[in-house]
Amino acid sequence: MPFEMQAKDFPLLKNDLLLRAARGLEVERVPVWIMRQAGRTLPEYRAVSEEHGFFGICRTPELACEVTLQPIRRFDLDAAIIFSDILVVPQALGMEVIMKPGEGPVFPEPLAGPDDLARLQRPVNVQEQLGYVFEAVTMTRHKLEGKVPLIGFSGAPWTLMGYMVEGKGSKTMSKAKRWLYQHPTESHQLFSLLTDVVVDYLVGQAEAGAQLLQVFESSAEYLGPDLFAQFALPYIRRISSEVKDKLKAKDIDVPMTIFAKGGHYALEQLADSGYEVVGLDWTVDPAGATDRLGDKVTRQGNLDPCALYAPEESLDALAKQMVERFGTRRYIANLGHGIYPDMTPERVVTFVDAIHKYSRQD
Minimum CB distance to ligand CP3 smaller for 218 or for 298: 218
Q: Does 311 bind ligand CP3 (CB under 6 A)?
A: no
Closest residue to ligand CP3: CB criterion:
39
- Residue 16 Cβ vs ligand CP3, minimum distance, rounded to whole Å: 20
DSSP string, 263-288: -GGGHHHHHTSS-SEEE--TTS-HHH
DSSP bridge partners of 212: 151
Q: Does 40 bind ligand CP3 (CB under 6 A)?
A: yes
Q: Are 147 and 16 in contact (CB under 8 A)?
A: no
User: Site for ligand CP3 (CB under 6 A): how many residues?
Assistant: 24
- Residue 203 Cβ vs ligand CP3, minimum distance, rounded to whole Å: 18
Edge-to-edge strand order for the sheet containing 298-303? Answer: 80-81, 150-155, 212-217, 256-260, 277-279, 298-303, 331-335
Name the one range near ligand CP3 by CB under 6 A: 84-92, 112-120, 181-189, 220-228. Answer: 84-92
Q: Does 175 bind ligand CP3 (CB under 6 A)?
A: no
Minimum CB distance to ligand CP3 smaller for 10 or for 83: 83
- Residue 97 Cβ vs ligand CP3, minimum distance, rounded to whole Å: 9
Q: Does 237 bind ligand CP3 (CB under 6 A)?
A: no
- Per DSSP, the three-state class of 155 is strand
Q: Are 343 and 74 in contact (CB under 8 A)?
A: no
Site string for ligand CP3, 89-128 (x = CB under 6 A): ----------x-x--xx-----------------------
Number of Cβ atoms within 10 Å of the Cβ of 284: 20
Name the one range near ligand CP3 by CB under 6 A: 29-37, 178-186, 277-285, 294-302. Answer: 29-37
Q: Does 37 bind ligand CP3 (CB under 6 A)?
A: yes
Minimum CB distance to ligand CP3 smaller for 36 or for 188: 36
DSSP string, 309-324: GS-HHHHHHHHHHHHH
Examine residue 334 and say whether the peptide bond preceding it is cis (omega within 30 degrees of 0).
no
DSSP letter for 14, please. Answer: S
Number of Cβ atoms within 10 Å of the Cβ of 246: 17
- Residue 138 Cβ vs ligand CP3, minimum distance, rounded to whole Å: 17
Q: Does 286 bind ligand CP3 (CB under 6 A)?
A: no
Give dist(CA 201, CA 199) in Å, integer.
5
Give dist(CA 189, CA 111) in Å, integer.
14
Name the one range near ligand CP3 by CB under 6 A: 32-40, 120-128, 234-242, 290-298. Answer: 32-40
In this structure, which amino acid lies at residue 67?
V
Q: Does 355 bind ligand CP3 (CB under 6 A)?
A: no
User: Site residues (CB under 6 A) for ligand CP3?
Assistant: 35-40, 49, 54, 81, 83-87, 99, 101, 104-105, 153, 169, 216, 218, 261, 338
